Structure 1
Amino acid sequence: MSYIVPQNTDLLLSEAQKEALYQQLVIQLEKDFLLANESLSLPEQLSPIALKLALHEKIYKLIQHKFAEYLNLLYIIDVSEAEIKKLDGSDLVELAEQVSFLILKREWQKVWFRNRY
C-alpha cells in the first residue's frame, strides 16, 4: 500500500484511526512539541475533534504571542517551508488552522512510514 497524502485534517485523522495509528500520531505530536520546549499536554483518550481544536488553539497562541517558538516548532517537526510560504497570513485563525494541518500531515508521514518500514 502506498502513502497517500490526506487532503484535510478530518481525512487525515480518520485515516490514522482506520490504520490504528491515531494514538501513535498523538504521541508523536507530544514528543515533537516537547522537543521544541512547548507543552501540548493532551489527555490519554482524546477524540480527533478535540485534538484538532487543541492543536489549532496552540498554534494560534504561538503565532500571536511566541513567534520565535512557533518557527522553532515548525523546524523541529520539519514542516515544509515552501508549504508555509504558500499560506495566506491575513487571517490568523485561518492561518493557524492551515498550519495545524501541515503539522499533522508531517507527523502522520513520520508515524505512517515508521509503522510500514
Structure 2
Amino acid sequence: MSNSTSYIAPLNTEVLLDEATNENLYFNLIEQINKDFNLANESIDLPQDIQPEELKNELHEKIYRLIQYKFAEYLNLLYIVDVPEDQIKKLDGSDIAELAKQVAFLILKREWMKVWFRNKYQ
C-alpha cells in the first residue's frame, strides 16, 4: 500500500498494524490512540515501544472494561474517535468479549485512517 495514493481500509487488525509498521506510521498510530483516549478522559497510555500484539490486546481489554463498567464513557470514546455509528449498530452485542474485539478494530481503523490521511496530505 505504501505506493498507493488512495486509502484502503484494512481487512483486520493484523493487516492494519502491518501497514502502519511498513509505512513507518506505527508510532503515529500509538500517539493518535493515546491522544483520543485522553480526550475522552479514558487514558490508555500505550508506550511507544509496545508490540503490535500487545497493542491489540490492551485496546481490546480497555474496550471490554468500558463496555462492562463504564458504558457512558465508552459511548463518549466512540464519539471522540469518530467511529461511524452505523458500523457499531451492525455489530452483534450478545457476546461482550467478541463485541469488544470488533469495536477495538473499528477504533483502530478510524485512528489509522486519521494517521494515514495526515501523513499523505500534510
Normalised by the length of structure 2, the TM-score is 0.95
Structure 1 stretches (4+) deviating beyond 4 angstroms? none
TM norm structure 1: 0.99
The correspondence for 2:42, drawn from 29, 38, 44, is 38
Percent of aligned pairs sharing the same letter: 68
Task: Say whether the 8 Å CA contact 2:37–2:44 is kept in structure 1.
Answer: yes
Match of 1:29 in 2: 33
> Is 1:81 equivalent to 2:81 in the alignment?
no
Which residue in 1 is equivalent to 2:74? 70
Q: Does 1:2 align with 2:6?
A: yes
How many positions carry a matched residue from both structures?
117
Report the counterpart of residue 18 of structure 2 in structure 1: 14
* CA deviation after TM superposition for structure 1 residue 70, in Å: 0.1
Cα distance per residue 1:62-100 (max 9 Å; x no partner): 000000000000000000000000000000000000000
CA RMSD of aligned residues (A): 0.5
Contact 2:30 2:48 in 1 (8 A): no
- Segments of 5+ residues of structure 2 without an aligned counterpart are none
Alignment partners' CA distance in 2, 1:111 and 1:95: 24
Gaps of 5+ in 1: none
